[in-house]
């Protein structure tokens, strides 16, 4: 097996512990994987990806890294931290609310707070565009990278969310941290795909169901996950090739769209904070935990279940109105 070079950034393994109150409420055995406590760049799962992406950046000789996403992107925030540590410029081409199909409703997040504020502290070079489609954002990323190269910069491009084969490898390794716990299911927020692909390959062949709760309404997203997973399988290499049908992606909890908090998510956020003293984020993990709660109450999952907390809590501080679910 080929082992990518790792730069230790996170405090690993992250804690894994039982949620006693939630377990009592649901009548099942619920555990939580605390990637909100990775200890790097304000926490979150993206640090796992960057442990393998950053060595590749340095090996390329790049002096500038460029990526794109929402202005409240958790990946951009942690990428900015990693780039600052190794002396590489970080350029982020962002929109407040990129969308797939049509202009979304107001998301209730302040653009200048949360991850944007932390990014300013880290020295991220922001290029903020008017809201538009993801394709428009991707084109702007390519144009900005071309312009930087014309200026003489050595540029390393990273796609949205750090979802590359190296990013997925970070979560192939993460799966090792729960393989021996024999969970019946692991539930987590699923969006750009490297978390989902890495866990799907890492837990393949075990009895653990890998259940992604979609935070992005794109209907063909499983095909993208499969392509990313196959790139991972070629990188390592691995003897298996998972197909789109092998990825469980539940779209019921997306709400009004990507980057927009949902009523069910807000209720889940408040419930876990008050029941266990653990905060979720309104964009990803709250929606995923709302999915876990409903699936448990409907009998869709049971036994011993792990909720993988992917972090993202700075977005709480960008909420213009907490929007209490009660």
Question: pLDDT, tens digit, for every residue of 28-80?
Answer: 999 999 999 999 999 999 999 999 999 999 999 999 999 999 999 999 999 99
Tell me the mean pLDDT in the region 261-273: 97
State the CATH number of the domain containing residue 91. Answer: 3.40.50.1100
Return d(Cα 293, Cα 289) in angstroms, integer: 6
Question: pLDDT, tens digit, for every residue of 164-189?
Answer: 999 999 999 999 999 999 999 999 99
Beta sheet of 155-157, edge-to-edge order: 125-129, 89-95, 64-70, 155-157
Return d(Cα 291, Cα 187) in angstroms, integer: 8
Residue 210 has pLDDT above 70, yes or no: yes
pLDDT of res. 3: 85
pLDDT of res. 114: 94
Q: Which of 70, 73, 191, 194 is catalytic?
A: 73
pLDDT of res. 102: 66
Nearest one of 220, 219, 190 to 308, comparing CA atoms:
190
pLDDT of res. 319: 84
Tell me the mean pLDDT in the region 275-300: 98
Which domain-ending residue is among 131, 162, 193? 162
Q: Is 260 left (phi over 0), alpha (psi -120 to 50) or beta?
A: beta
> Same domain, yes or no, for 144 and 174?
no
> Same domain, yes or no, for 128 and 20?
no
Cα 81 to Cα 4, 73, 85, 212, 269, distances in angstroms: 21, 13, 6, 27, 26
pLDDT of res. 104: 59
Nearest one of 103, 104, 7, 105 to 51, comparing CA atoms:
7
Return d(Cα 75, Cα 30) in angstroms, integer: 27
Residue 100 has pLDDT above 90, yes or no: no
Q: Is residue 227 part of a domain?
A: yes
73 part of the active site: yes
321: tokens are 């109105």
**What residues make up the domain containing 53?**
47-162
Task: Look over the chain and give the mean of its residue pLDDT values, rounded to a whole number.
Answer: 94
Question: pLDDT, tens digit, for every residue of 150-159?
Answer: 999 999 999 9
Contacts of residue 212, defined as CB under 8 A and 6 or more positions apart, other chains included, come to 188, 189, 190, 196, 247, 248, 249, 250
> Same domain, yes or no, for 102 and 30?
no
Residue 6 has pLDDT above 90, yes or no: yes
> Same domain, yes or no, for 308 and 185?
yes
Tell me the mean pLDDT in the region 283-311: 98
> Same domain, yes or no, for 149 and 235?
no
> Same domain, yes or no, for 139 and 81?
yes
Provide the pLDDT confidence category of residue 326 given band limits of 50, 70 and 90: very low
pLDDT of res. 189: 98
Provide the pLDDT confidence category of residue 315 given band limits of 50, 70 and 90: very high
pLDDT of res. 103: 61
Q: Quote the number of domains for the chain.
A: 2
Return d(Cα 290, Cα 287) in angstroms, integer: 5
């Amino acid at each position: 097996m080929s082992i990518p070079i790792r730069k230790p950034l996170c405090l690993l393994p992250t804690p894994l512990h039982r949620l006693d109150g939630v377990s009592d409420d649901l009548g099942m055995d619920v555990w939580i994987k605390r990637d909100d406590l990775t200890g790097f760049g304000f926490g979150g799962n993206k640090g796992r990806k960057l442990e393998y992406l950053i060595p590749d950046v340095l090996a390329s000789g790049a002096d500038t890294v460029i990526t794109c996403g929402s202005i409240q992107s958790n990946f951009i925030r942690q990428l900015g931290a990693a780039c600052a540590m190794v002396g590489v410029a970080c350029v982020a081409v962002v929109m407040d609310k990129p969308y797939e199909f049509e202009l979304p409703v107001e998301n209730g997040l302040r653009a200048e707070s949360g991850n944007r504020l932390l990014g300013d502290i880290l020295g991220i070079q922001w290029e903020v565009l008017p809201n538009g489609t993801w394709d428009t954002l991707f084109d702007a990323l390519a144009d900005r990278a071309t312009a930087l190269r014309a200026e003489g910069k050595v540029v390393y491009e990273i796609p949205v969310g750090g979802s590359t084969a190296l990013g997925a490898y970070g979560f192939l390794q993460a799966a090792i941290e729960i393989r021996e716990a024999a969970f019946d299911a692991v539930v987590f927020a699923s969006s750009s795909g490297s978390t989902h692909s890495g866990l799907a390959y890492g837990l393949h062949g075990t009895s653990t169901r890998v259940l992604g709760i979609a935070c992005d309404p794109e209907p063909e997203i499983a095909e993208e996950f499969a392509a990313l997973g196959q790139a991972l399988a070629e990188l390592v290499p691995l003897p298996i090739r998972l197909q789109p049908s092998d990825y469980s992606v539940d779209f019921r909890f997306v709400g009004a769209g990507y980057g927009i908090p949902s009523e069910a998510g807000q209720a889940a956020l408040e419930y876990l904070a008050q029941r266990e003293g653990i905060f979720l984020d309104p964009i990803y993990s709250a929606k995923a935990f709302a999915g876990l709660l409903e699936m448990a109450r409907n009998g869709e999952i049971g036994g011993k279940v792990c909720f993988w907390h992917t972090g993202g809590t700075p977005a709480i501080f960008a909420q213009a109105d907490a929007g209490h679910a009660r």
